[in-house]
Amino acid sequence: MRIGADYYPEHWEKERWKTDAEMMVKANIKVIRIGEFAWSLYEPEEGKYEFDWMDEALDFFGKYGIKVVMCTPSATPPKWMIDKYPDILQNDIHGNPKLFGTRKHYCFNSETYREKTKKLNTLIAKRYAKHPAIEAWQVDNELGWSNTTRCYCKSCENRFRSWLKEKYGTIDNLNKTYGTTFWSQTYRSFEELNIPKAGACYDTCHDTQGQNPALLLDYYRFCSDSVVEFTKESVDTIKEYSDLPITSNLLDAAINSGTGIDYFKLSKEFDFVTWDNYIEFQWGKAKPETVSRDHALLRSYKKKPFWVMEQQSGPCGWSKLGPTPTPGKLRLWTYQSVANGADTVVYFRWRACPFGTEELWHGILNHDGKPNRRYAEVSRVGAEMEELSKNYRALMPRARVAIIKSFDSEWSQSIHRQVEGLYYDSLLLDYYRPFWNMGIPVDFVTAEEDLNRYDLVLAPMLMMVSDEGKKNIETYAQAGGKVLFSFRSGIKDMYNNMLTETVPGVFADLAGVEVEDYDPLLEKTTATTGVFGNGMAHMWCDIVKPVTAKVIGKYTSDFYAGEACMTVNQIGKGEVYYLGCDLDEKAMKMLAVYLGRKAGIDMDLYKVDGVEVVDATDGTNDALFILNYNDHSVIVSMEQSYENMITHETVENVVELKPYDVAILKEAN
Amino acid sequence: MRIGADYYPEHWEKERWKTDAEMMVKANIKVIRIGEFAWSLYEPEEGKYEFDWMDEALDFFGKYGIKVVMCTPSATPPKWMIDKYPDILQNDIHGNPKLFGTRKHYCFNSETYREKTKKLNTLIAKRYAKHPAIEAWQVDNELGWSNTTRCYCKSCENRFRSWLKEKYGTIDNLNKTYGTTFWSQTYRSFEELNIPKAGACYDTCHDTQGQNPALLLDYYRFCSDSVVEFTKESVDTIKEYSDLPITSNLLDAAINSGTGIDYFKLSKEFDFVTWDNYIEFQWGKAKPETVSRDHALLRSYKKKPFWVMEQQSGPCGWSKLGPTPTPGKLRLWTYQSVANGADTVVYFRWRACPFGTEELWHGILNHDGKPNRRYAEVSRVGAEMEELSKNYRALMPRARVAIIKSFDSEWSQSIHRQVEGLYYDSLLLDYYRPFWNMGIPVDFVTAEEDLNRYDLVLAPMLMMVSDEGKKNIETYAQAGGKVLFSFRSGIKDMYNNMLTETVPGVFADLAGVEVEDYDPLLEKTTATTGVFGNGMAHMWCDIVKPVTAKVIGKYTSDFYAGEACMTVNQIGKGEVYYLGCDLDEKAMKMLAVYLGRKAGIDMDLYKVDGVEVVDATDGTNDALFILNYNDHSVIVSMEQSYENMITHETVENVVELKPYDVAILKEAN
Amino acid sequence: MRIGADYYPEHWEKERWKTDAEMMVKANIKVIRIGEFAWSLYEPEEGKYEFDWMDEALDFFGKYGIKVVMCTPSATPPKWMIDKYPDILQNDIHGNPKLFGTRKHYCFNSETYREKTKKLNTLIAKRYAKHPAIEAWQVDNELGWSNTTRCYCKSCENRFRSWLKEKYGTIDNLNKTYGTTFWSQTYRSFEELNIPKAGACYDTCHDTQGQNPALLLDYYRFCSDSVVEFTKESVDTIKEYSDLPITSNLLDAAINSGTGIDYFKLSKEFDFVTWDNYIEFQWGKAKPETVSRDHALLRSYKKKPFWVMEQQSGPCGWSKLGPTPTPGKLRLWTYQSVANGADTVVYFRWRACPFGTEELWHGILNHDGKPNRRYAEVSRVGAEMEELSKNYRALMPRARVAIIKSFDSEWSQSIHRQVEGLYYDSLLLDYYRPFWNMGIPVDFVTAEEDLNRYDLVLAPMLMMVSDEGKKNIETYAQAGGKVLFSFRSGIKDMYNNMLTETVPGVFADLAGVEVEDYDPLLEKTTATTGVFGNGMAHMWCDIVKPVTAKVIGKYTSDFYAGEACMTVNQIGKGEVYYLGCDLDEKAMKMLAVYLGRKAGIDMDLYKVDGVEVVDATDGTNDALFILNYNDHSVIVSMEQSYENMITHETVENVVELKPYDVAILKEAN
């Protein structure tokens, strides 16, 4: 448990380094991340390399005992390279090259770019592998940031054709799978296939609407695979010279919507994962449950502790600022990260840079570099963690509930949303939120991984599943697991075609139901009643016919009043639930209590609004985090006696928390 | 009176055909439409043709007594053709080629495309002209769908120059007509003219705003003419081999706004017209009066019964679904079609296709192909129509009111809307609605056709009119006809220039008024009183000065309070009304009553909200349709005794209709 | 004090000229502007010139004693020229050439265009320099209209590189200044620099978001300089042959947001300035204070009387019309122009043109050319001015307050808005409005010009200032001046980088404060109290720490309640105020009263809502304008006796004004 800062020695006069290092040490900043945008400093001209500046910086900060995460600088190929090798440029969805001028302007499939990256990465890895200051590596920066996963250039088109050839073998097989008899889209060879750019459908030329959904999903998968392949190449380059752990910074913040990369696959390439956590800035404000969900995703990709590689430390934005973090919020956000599985929290950035795109983006320090109230708050956190580290190693929440997260389903649903207002990501949050509200940690899983560590598995809108995944879920249920499927689960094959089996298709036997009729709700709502109390659906209603299942919820309005909306089916020793509609927040909460209790989870924890409770452990010692997001004090009642590990006060009956304050409780002996 | 289904034999295993045919027969489905997207099946490679599959399908379904509408597949030129002849691709308003990937990606003026189409159409016409299953032909599919009427390619530019040359003879004549002294836009030759792409006006580069309005209108006319010419070519090809009737499916649904084709002109090429009728889907919900208005347009293009070639049969949309049709709605919508002049109603589509762009678009059957509640409802309609056909031939409403529909005026107004919120299409609906509300059928006419069959002719915003049209209207009035012009009528010449005659220009003498001052209403309203009661204008107010006319309406607010807003002028035996402002719905209803009575129409029919009443006849037998769009029962009082031709019950005093129910009444003898 | 009309002899048959001239004379129209779009008439083919038509027009109208403003027609290079020299076309922000079809389709840096313009201007200047009808010249038309200042073509890129080379000397200097170490953007030569087109940042490819702010600001300056250079060339061409005054028509109307031209610099090239004043039209409605602010800007560019070159005279718009001006409004708007410093008011246009883009744009006369109520109103104004001219020469308001307007700050803020909802232009209006409300004229100034003529100088969001400017402000304060800076003042260097001095950077010493913490308000408000009463901030709050200053305002909510929001610092004999937040309208009014009184200005004038009072003088005679924008009568109390110079009535105690009426009062002797 410790803090760090993202630092750019190249932005400041060397005379300033000393002040910075001393202020860092004073604040208990243990680690800095360095060098992720420095390509033009390393290679100012083709083949001419300069490392002295970095040698100097590493030696300098190393002397202060500050550890370093060393980056590969592939996110910013320099101007001379772009001018000489314009094929490096990523192409947008219309096939136009992106311009030099910001960053991430490269195509992952450009051979030139791949070669240039490998060459520089090799030199860096070789030179710094043994530097005593370095403790880990970061590859690239924010892979897939700002829609850069999907490129529409010629290189990508060629590689995509090979990818398809490998997948389908023959063009007839592809034609059959894609259903190209529809609208005369039959291909005679893989060379006839184009990447699905925008502009095929006349009045929506800004996107790919109307194109073959199987082709689109394949292209999304190919793009994700391309990023993973690029990443693997960088990781392998480093591994040739270094045994230190390797990572990159992911982007799961709700505000940064999906990057189009399958993070379960990408994470396999890393020794540990990290992410960039901005809570209130130019592009929006994240609610605490959303940030918690993002942390949950991060710890789930590898089922182990992670880092926050960029944690917000001031007001930020490019052209407009979000609000300044109210006193206490930096500390609160940091402990939220720790409670949910973050081992190290690195603040972005040490000091606001006075030039360039992010000249408005504030770090811990303002442009003037003087100690300020945010520095004071960070220093407090640094000191507390120094103390806490004596009692705790990396903490992880004890999750007994899991939600299946399927990137295939998410992308499929982004191609065909099914109904206005429905988003895969939001629906998953709707299932996460009620457990979060009651202090029950939830992990995310793939359909294929081991489910037995969980008492309850939720599969909202799992539109498609592999044979292996289906079998895995079935086995889990057979053995006594509790599983829930929602409407629109199981309706597609893995190629993004609709199944001709009656809805819910793949899962019809498990759920023991058939759905002949469903009502996508446009501008209306439908009332329901069931084990979740009374609820309102506003997006979708399946009229559920039980085959082997038992009805536990019904519609009470519209022409299907009296029909089933929720069922339960006995499968072996387990139970499979089917919920044919979406529900409002209150009903979802009651549903969580119902399902939790069925799964043997204690759902009685007293919970105050705007307070996050996380039950975590480092394997030896437990830590009950109480985080107050309210701008007023709260009193939380406790059933046992605890020691507050920050203040070392004893907690009896209740713990009182000031606005934005935090308690870490350990059962009193 | 009968039903059909749109069917795609190529989408299904042949083993399934039998089930489909049997289910069709059982449901009294008499006709299927077939083959409109099958180019790549007919011609998988250049010059290599395959017809066996279609032979087989026709023979198969023919054996069941199911009739076929055979299509030309020109809406989907295959991939190999696009790759080899990229000049086929339509260009968007920026001059960029549309991509392969959906459909209708071709330019009507591409010589290659025209030649390829003609060649395949010839082969199809020749081969199937005498096939006993075929009863009619459909040319292409949804001509002009999704802004595909107006192409911006080089071929179009060249043809447009010839079109202009033919129209204007000399460039001096064009310059004079277009007023090119304005902003130094003088041309020295026809070769200097460009088609009006987007991008001339800097901050509105997404459209053609700011360009010469005469040039724009000419380009719109040229594009419409191009579609008509292409269509004629296809029709002529078929006629060489077949005597069967030929049609295509138009798109007058309110939700699909105008296609940019002059449907009066296009319809001349066909033996009968059809259209695609979607009421509630991804792209919106049409009100019953709007659908009724669309039916009225369809029967008006040729002044004879038409078909619905695609009638909604389930929840539909591409990426998102609209609501599922409530039980009873499929039947209700079908009878609305029949009441308003549809002879045959073909459901789109038989069964949901599990692949391709429209994998979410539901047919009568779901993806699973099993009988369901929609199949049951369609079967009921099929059975009823089987019965009704014994008593009725094709029905047509008895219209005594006509609204002049001018494509020239519509396009001119789309170029210069005159005021925020004003749309030609909506204004026509404002005049249609009150008559619809009172069960008075209304036809649409051109200014040039015979008006004498109508007692009342309305000309809302007839911005421009041909000399012949003006004369026609005048003759009609002289002979005793009643005519109404609205504000903005007669203000332009046929080239889209403003007239220098005082408003209402062309019609000033007929209306007997002059308008010096007019108030386009931005963010305000003006009160009026007159023969229409008290009303509010919210878009436009002409301050009308009577010259020979008599004032029958005045403004009661704003600086022109006390001035005339409506007048009537005696012309021969007839009367010409001028309404200088728009009016709210209530006032429009009173105006309709006033005008109807003046025209000798019985306006006393008792009418219930949400109920459509249509007085129709097949020439021999009458049918009074009562259609209930309410989700509750209604009681409609009747002044005579009737027989309900569906239930064969006698109706005395009142008829009671369940939600979405229909009655077809015939006067009891 | 006189009126004129914009006239296009080329649009009308010569037979009509006589009627027009006679009607003009009758209405006291003294001057017409002519020829600004007539290039293709002068030069119908390359090198073939025709001047007879203009000779004839000048002779004709000259005979009626009507004076002429003669234009250079460079706004509309003809079609033949564009076809032959396509490099003339301006390129849009994506680098695509603008199309021929409207106007202003040229690049100011195109050598061909510059040469062609010079050649024709020379011929025109030579031919007409001595024509007795001509009294002044207009260069081009609405320079920079509709985003035409910033072109993105190759010529511009090349010239921009030279411009940068001249400014920075070496590429190292540019790199250092731009901070190109940020994101590896180092350049090796000026040739590597590109103009900042849209498309560098992937998901915002419609604009230049995310690019280097120093590069962007330089490009904006370069573009403004290019327009000035082009203008100077045209002005110099005329001056070779003519001694008459030269101008062009600017676009400061609030509705036409900034043109991207530094009007202080541009105005230096002219003998007098003019502008186009549209108040209510297709693109919006301007409030009286906004129009007044625009007039104030115009008189400030050269600190002398100006003209309105296009004053609205009817309903106008391109595709949609705004409302017709209520009777009295044309007269009211004209007197507002005069009150605020306009010497001559030219109505656009004499008569509505029946063809071309602006066929809907109404002039004084309608398309029919008959006298109408607007002609009658204009005639009344013409007659009144004829009388008023006997007593008054050009009037100018007596301004004792000045607001610093910095185009550099405006452009910098357009690149980085700092916070949602904040606009430089609106903030300046927030400071102008309260003084306008109380009848206190306000001028606009640069930071570098003589401030001593003002008692109070306001510097809202003066983000950057030259050394000279800073010194000038300091000297002014030292000598006893009162100065106010707002939040975000002084934070940047002149290259658009953030300063590393503590906020407010450049002005920290003058203001005597330091700001460590600031709260950009997103979706919240903060309460304040101070010398401005109680107020609410909703965009920005600096937490102000007084160093040498005294606190005169505090926050009363949020975590910084009790901290200072406003201070005053003694500098020499003067006082420097710092206001760290924005304030609501009521508080701004109280602040204006407070500051005005401190500055010795009489702030007690009784003021009625919706009434503009302007205290003006022609140097000899005073004129107190009372302008009533209300649609009802108002009674304004007066402390002295006056003569109403329009009616020649005596005003005692009160003056009563009808809706939209005007009084011009002179103290009774």
Chain B environment of C285 (Cβ under 8 Å):
522-523
H/E run at residue C574:
strand C574-579
B233 noted as active-site residue: no
Q: What are B290-335's pLDDT values in tens digits?
A: 999 999 999 999 999 999 999 999 999 999 999 999 999 999 999 9
Which of B8, B15, B54, B79 should we substitute to test contact with A (largest number of A Cβ atoms within 10 Å)? B79
pLDDT classification of B253: cutoffs 50, 70, 90? low
The reply to whether A494 touches chain B by the CB within 8 Å rule is: no
Angle, vertex CA C25, rays to CA C22 and CA C27, nearest 5: 110
Chain C environment of B497 (Cβ under 8 Å):
354-355, 359
| Mean pLDDT score, B273-288 | 94
Residue B103 assigned ligand-binding role? yes
pLDDT at C146: 87
User: Comparing C-alpha atoms, which of B203, B77, B92 is closest to residue B149?
Assistant: B92
Which residues of chain B from 421 to 460 reach within 8 Å of chain A, CB to CB?
none
Q: What are B525-573's pLDDT values in tens digits?
A: 999 999 999 999 999 999 999 999 999 999 999 999 999 999 999 999 9
Contact B516, C370 (CB under 8 A): yes
Q: Which of C104, C321, C359 lies at the smallest CB-CB distance from B497?
A: C359
Helices (H), B403-466: 407-415, 424-437
Chain A environment of C416 (Cβ under 8 Å):
318-320, 359-360
Q: Taking every pair of C-alpha atoms in chain A, what is the biggest distance, in angstroms? A: 77
pLDDT classification of B147: cutoffs 50, 70, 90? confident
Chain C environment of A321 (Cβ under 8 Å):
418-419, 520
pLDDT at C653: 87
Q: With CB atoms and an 8 Å threshold, state whether C285 touches B522.
A: yes
Considering chain B, what is the average pLDDT of its residues? 96
pLDDT at C607: 76
The reply to whether B471 touches chain C by the CB within 8 Å rule is: no
| Mean pLDDT score, B464-485 | 98
Tell me which chains share at least 3 CB pairs under 8 Å with chain A. Answer: B, C
Please say if the pLDDT value at position A458 is more than 90: yes
Q: Which residues of C are annotated as a binding site for substrate?
A: 103, 141, 318
Q: How big is the A-C interface in CB pairs under 8 Å?
A: 170
pLDDT at C203: 59
* Residue of chain B nearest A187, judged by CA positions: B79
Tell me which chains share at least 3 CB pairs under 8 Å with chain B. Answer: A, C
pLDDT at C256: 54
Cα A541 to Cα A527: distance, rounded to the nearest angstrom: 10
Which one from B36, B43, B142, B575 is the annotated catalytic residue? Answer: B142
Cα A111 to Cα A97: distance, rounded to the nearest angstrom: 16
CA quadruple B35, B38, B41, B42: dihedral, nearest 10: 70
| Mean pLDDT score, A293-308 | 97
CATH class, range A2-150+225-391: alpha beta
pLDDT classification of A254: cutoffs 50, 70, 90? low
% of chain C residues with pLDDT over 70: 98
Please say if the pLDDT value at position B255 is more than 60: no
Which of A181, A211, A543 should we substitute to test contact with B (largest number of B Cβ atoms within 10 Å)? A181
Relative orientation angle of helices C585-598 and C424-437, to the nearest 10 degrees: 60
CATH class, range B611-667: mainly beta
% of chain C residues with pLDDT over 90: 94
User: Comparing C-alpha atoms, which of C62, C234, C42, C237 is closest to residue C134?
Assistant: C62
Q: What are B189-203's pLDDT values in tens digits?
A: 999 999 999 988 765
H/E run at residue C414:
helix C407-415
Contact A436, A291 (CB under 8 A): no
CA quadruple C564, C570, C571, C573: dihedral, nearest 10: 150
Please say if the pLDDT value at position C150 is more than 60: yes
The reply to whether C325 touches chain B by the CB within 8 Å rule is: no
Q: Which of A202, A500, A522 lies at the smallest CB-CB distance from B322?
A: A522
Q: Which residues of A have a catalytic role annotated?
A: 142, 310
pLDDT at B203: 58
Which of B205, B209, B522 should we substitute to test contact with C (largest number of C Cβ atoms within 10 Å)? B522
% of chain A residues with pLDDT over 90: 94
CA distances from A664 to A23, A443, A558, A622, A655 (A): 27, 21, 49, 9, 10
pLDDT at A258: 81
Please say if the pLDDT value at position C638 is more than 90: no
Please say if the pLDDT value at position C588 is more than 80: yes
Please say if the pLDDT value at position A255 is more than 80: no
The reply to whether C260 touches chain B by the CB within 8 Å rule is: no
Chain C environment of B182 (Cβ under 8 Å):
11, 37, 353, 355-358
Please say if the pLDDT value at position C668 is more than 60: yes
pLDDT at A599: 97
Q: With CB atoms and an 8 Å threshold, state whether C179 touches A41.
A: no
- Extract the tokens encoding C135: 């009294």
Please say if the pLDDT value at position C605 is more than 80: no
Cα A309 to Cα A248: distance, rounded to the nearest angstrom: 8
| Mean pLDDT score, B510-526 | 95
| Mean pLDDT score, C575-600 | 97
Give the domain ranges of chain A. 2-150+225-391, 154-216, 401-598, 611-667
pLDDT at C202: 62
| Mean pLDDT score, A536-553 | 98
| Mean pLDDT score, C583-602 | 96
- From the CA of A313, how many Å to the nearest CA of chain C? 13
Which residues of chain B from 148 to 207 reach within 8 Å of chain C, CB to CB?
178-188, 192, 194, 196-197, 199-203, 205
Please say if the pLDDT value at position B250 is more than 80: yes
Q: Match 């079809």 to its residue by tokens.
A: C101
Which residues of chain B from 41 to 60 reach within 8 Å of chain C, CB to CB?
none
The reply to whether B357 touches chain A by the CB within 8 Å rule is: yes
Q: Which of B11, B96, B366 lies at the smallest CB-CB distance from A199?
A: B96
Chain C environment of A356 (Cβ under 8 Å):
178-180, 182-183, 185, 212-213
pLDDT at A580: 98
Q: What are B107-136's pLDDT values in tens digits?
A: 999 999 999 999 999 999 999 999 999 999
Identity at B150, one-letter amino acid code = R
Considering chain C, what is the average pLDDT of its residues? 96
Q: With CB atoms and an 8 Å threshold, state whether C420 touches A370.
A: no
- From the CA of C106, how many Å to the nearest CA of chain A? 24
Q: With CB atoms and an 8 Å threshold, state whether A500 touches B367.
A: yes
User: Comparing C-alpha atoms, which of B223, B168, B207, B192 is closest to residue C100?
Assistant: B192
Cα A144 to Cα A152: distance, rounded to the nearest angstrom: 14
Which residues of chain B from 387 to 426 reach within 8 Å of chain C, CB to CB?
415-420, 422
pLDDT classification of B256: cutoffs 50, 70, 90? low
CATH class, range C401-598: alpha beta
| Mean pLDDT score, C39-51 | 97
Please say if the pLDDT value at position B72 is more than 80: yes
Which one from B36, B43, B310, B410 is the annotated catalytic residue? Answer: B310
- From the CA of A199, how many Å to the nearest CA of chain B? 6
Which of A99, A105, A361 should we substitute to test contact with C (largest number of C Cβ atoms within 10 Å)? A99
Please say if the pLDDT value at position C147 is more than 90: no
* Residue of chain B nearest A176, judged by CA positions: B355
Considering chain A, what is the average pLDDT of its residues? 96
Query: For residue A389, how many other CB atoms are within 10 A of its CB?
Result: 13
Residue A223 assigned ligand-binding role? no
- From the CA of C580, how many Å to the nearest CA of chain B? 35
The reply to whether B10 touches chain A by the CB within 8 Å rule is: yes
pLDDT at B199: 86
Which one from C36, C43, C142, C448 is the annotated catalytic residue? Answer: C142
Count H helices, E strands: chain A? 17, 30
pLDDT at C205: 64
The residue with greater pLDDT, C479 or C200, is C479
| Mean pLDDT score, B268-275 | 98
pLDDT classification of A194: cutoffs 50, 70, 90? very high
- Extract the tokens encoding B165: 């040359």
pLDDT at C279: 95
Please say if the pLDDT value at position C255 is more than 70: no
| Mean pLDDT score, C51-67 | 98
pLDDT at C522: 82
Compute and round to an integer the Cα radius of gyration of chain A: 26
Please say if the pLDDT value at position A338 is more than 60: yes
Please say if the pLDDT value at position C204 is more than 70: no
pLDDT classification of A205: cutoffs 50, 70, 90? low
Residue A109 assigned ligand-binding role? no
pLDDT classification of A523: cutoffs 50, 70, 90? confident
